[in-house]
Amino acid sequence: MDNKILKLIPQRPPFLFIDSILEESLERVVAVKKLTGEEDFFKGHFPNNPVFPGVLMCEATFQTGAYLMALRGEGAGDDKLALVTRIGQCKFKNMAKPGDELVITVDFTEMLANAAYMKGKITSQNKTIMTIEFTATLVDKA
């Protein structure tokens, strides 16, 4: 586990879905998630044919986006929280299974007021698994 990830985003195990960062800039972050097969969700999704849930692929992309926002100085702080407020154009093209190493790429599109627009993609072994567009907005902590 990369300590910089823990420093920059609020998610923690067992709900942290990025393991390390391969590349980072103010415009793009590339993260990795290794699916070991030992994760609890595989026990029920689906028994005897485990598949990484699509909603968790989305979450891994959102967490990579939160890391990108933090790098840009637009991330959550002591008084702010970044929440996903829009999801669009999500397409699942292949399944992710135990043993796969997912490469999660998030590109920054634009910042309008307190909303960050981003595009994400997950690949494994050079195959596209998922693509998505999303927006995260900074809100005051309750």
Q: pLDDT tens digits for 128-141?
A: 999 999 999 988 87
Distance CA 69, CA 29 (A): 10
CATH match for 3-140 among 3.20.20.70, 3.10.129.10, 3.40.1190.20, 1.10.760.10: 3.10.129.10
pLDDT value for 76: 67
Residue-wise pLDDT tens digits, 74-110: 876 667 788 999 999 999 999 999 999 999 999 999 9
pLDDT score recorded for residue 142? 72
pLDDT at 1 over 70: no
pLDDT tens sequence across 31-63: 999 999 999 999 999 989 999 999 999 999 999
The sheet with strand 101-112 has its strands ordered as 20-24, 28-34, 101-112, 115-124, 127-140, 80-92
For the chain, domain boundaries: 3-140
Q: pLDDT over 90 for what percent of the chain?
A: 82
Q: What is the set of active-site residues?
A: 45
Q: What's this model's pTM, rounded to 2 decimal places?
A: 0.95
